[in-house]
Structure 1
Amino acid sequence: MNLFYNKQAVGDVAFLQIELANGEFNYEYKGDVVEIQHENKVVGFNIFNASQKSSIDGNGHIKLNETLVNELQTAIEEAGFTYKLDADFSPKFVVGYVETKEKHPDADKLSVLSVDVATEKLQIVCGAANIEAGQKVVVAKVGAVMPSGMVIKDAELRGVASSGMICSMKELDLPNAPQEKGIMVLSDDYTVGQAFFEE
């Protein structure tokens, strides 16, 4: 679940994205709230006059917390909708350990990785030339919003499932990021599963 807000650019509207979806959408309007559905499934809400209904502040991707989610839930219910928000507050950028690296069966420049992030093992397809088994790396988990605004989602790359992304310094918008391509390799001081950013 992701929340976007930019009062100066688009007005006092909170854009709550529950699921990524493409294609035709259906909209139901009740008061200041619009429920967005795709294939009979709720995928988002637009909440108008958001600053009057919540403590929302800032521009762009807004970090969710329990208070904000409860405020948005109240706004949704008071408008007459019954949908219950289910927020995941776990860190989305974490330290991972590359356990295995295998060649992609259908792409010379891609590797299929098994990456331990402590809570689970993820299969991630990666195109970086410097990725190797035994490295500690920064993993953007599904649901992470990159500094570019791109939302990480489950995907298939040339027929192989991929859940997450191994990040470079440039993709993380870190200072002094090298111009050459390649993922960021972490030192052994990092603990697998720890949040990479202070959240």
Structure 2
Amino acid sequence: MLIASYNAAGMGDVLVLLTAPKSEKTTSEQKGHVVRLLNEKQETIGFNILNASDHLATAEMDGQVHLDEAQVATLNAVLKQNGFEPELVADVAPKFVVGYVESAEPHPDSDHLQVTTTQIDGGETLQIVSGSPNMQAGIKVVVAKVGAMMPSGLIIWPGALRGVASNGMIVSGRELGLPNAPQQPGALILPDDYAEVGTPFDAKSPEAQALFQ
């Protein structure tokens, strides 16, 4: 997994790379222009690439950055040049996809959560715990897969809600930043003919932007 972000206004010329969730006790180690981030077990959870514009074209970068294999190869070379193992692996799979809720069952330890089985791309199904009041079986939704970064900056990691594993998030139009989306809680339910299950979902596409028009 590789999640990249760049915010020149807020952090300067620094490319932030995350490969695992942040821990409560994160430490760092700097060599040259690279800062390695470690968890309490001294495992790598990411890197900060300083002076990122020396290595990548950053002029158009703002927020999450989708790195291709050539860019990741460049960053691995930067790691090696600065004394770190070149351990980055490109992750080009789409993180927001059209999903289909096959089943939605009450959570065993909550009166407002439901445990869904949701189909995504490649015929894969995920167990996703949802608190959306309109959650039900038989609907098309947008799934933020593990490794997705929401417009708010929230990163989706594997987790558990009240003891039940959840791998991904079924999102609302508001969470996706869609124009005129309802502000109250509730999953974005897509029209049946919107797109095939597993299709990448682009919140900036004309089709997505028109969902609440």
TM bucket normalised to smaller = over 0.9
Distance across 1 between alignment mates of 2:16 and 2:197: 33
Q: Do the aligned residues in 2 keep the contact of 1:56 with 1:68 (CA within 8 Å)?
A: no
Structure 1 unmatched runs, 5+: none
Structural RMSD (CA): 1.6
Q: Do the aligned residues in 1 keep the contact of 2:33 with 2:49 (CA within 8 Å)?
A: yes
Match of 1:76? 79
TM-score of the superposed pair, with normalisation by structure 2: 0.88
Are positions 1:195 and 2:200 aligned together? Answer: yes
Match of 2:128? 124
Match of 2:11? 10
Distance across 2 between alignment mates of 1:172 and 1:73: 32
Distance across 2 between alignment mates of 1:166 and 1:9: 29
The one-letter code of the counterpart of 1:86 is V
* Pairs within 5 Å for 1:1-199: 1-38=2-39, 39-57=41-59, 58-119=61-122, 120-189=124-193, 190-197=195-202
**By percentage of residues, which structure has more strand?**
1
Task: Name the SS of the counterpart of 1:76 in structure 2.
Answer: helix
Distance across 2 between alignment mates of 1:131 and 1:175: 22
Relative distance call for 1:170 and 1:31 in structure 2 (3 A) is same
Q: Greater shift after overlay, 125-134 or 27-36?
A: 27-36
Task: Name the SS of the counterpart of 2:160 in structure 1.
Answer: strand
Distance across 1 between alignment mates of 2:188 and 2:199: 16
Q: Do the aligned residues in 1 keep the contact of 2:141 with 2:190 (CA within 8 Å)?
A: yes
Structure 2 unmatched runs, 5+: 206-213
Aligned residues: 199
